[in-house]
Amino acid sequence: MSYFEIILLAIGLCFDTLAVTFVQGAQKDKLSLAERVRIELTFGLVQGLFLLAGWLLGFSFLKYIEKFDHWVAFFLLFFIGGKMIAEALRPGEDNTHFNLASFGSCLLAAVATSIDALAVGVSMAMTVGFGWGKITVAALTVVLVTAGTAFLGLKGGTRVSAFLGKRSSVISGLILIAIGIKILLEHILV
């Protein structure tokens, strides 16, 4: 695997992060610079660590996680998205409370969007010549690309919410549910 392919892989792994951070950015609550950086680093580090963990565990572990990883991601994203939609549609509510500023929520969302990185890491362990040097470069690349993607998601969501108002919470909830369904279908239909 070339370094160019590693960059493409990192980009491919972070689309779910983009959508989830876009949802946070669409909220009316303003995040401090420290909260934004923590969110970006949490998503980046979790994605990179899951890639590294998959590589360390190797092929033998894949048969245990591939049976249920997609269900875990689906239920987590469906729950968060459904909660957002319900709160947005509740009379008198003017804001949902999808809050990645809460470390627990942020970590939960980061894990849900990084499960595929674990499986990718396992496949890297089976690649000839993919030793410590390459996995280190791959994990660091994934951390940086994912953190950068989280930054873009937070910024983009803020801009869109100014136009959509309360509807942005319903749309954001639907996006999270759609990501969960996509992950589930990718694994079931294979």
Residue 92 burial by CB count (10 A; 0-12/13-18/19+): exposed, middle or buried? exposed
Q: At which residue do the structure tokens 């991601």 appear?
A: 73
Mean pLDDT on 36-40: 94
Are 104 and 189 in contact by the 8 Å Cβ rule? The answer is no
pTM for the whole structure:
0.70
Please enumerate in sequence order all residues whose Cβ is within 8 A of that of 79, keeping only pairs 6 or more positions apart, or say none.
none
Question: pLDDT of 117-138, one tens digit each?
Answer: 887 787 777 666 778 889 999 9
Higher pLDDT, 181 or 130: 181
Q: What is the pLDDT of residue 172?
A: 65
Residue 95 DSSP symbol: -
Q: What is the pLDDT of residue 34?
A: 93
pLDDT computed for residue 107 by the predictor: 93
String of b and e for 167-180 (b: at least 16 CB within 10 Å)? ebbbbbbebbbebb
Confidence band, pLDDT 50/70/90 cuts, at residue 95:
very low
Q: How far apart are CA 131 and CA 169, in angstroms?
A: 44
Q: What is the pLDDT of residue 163?
A: 62
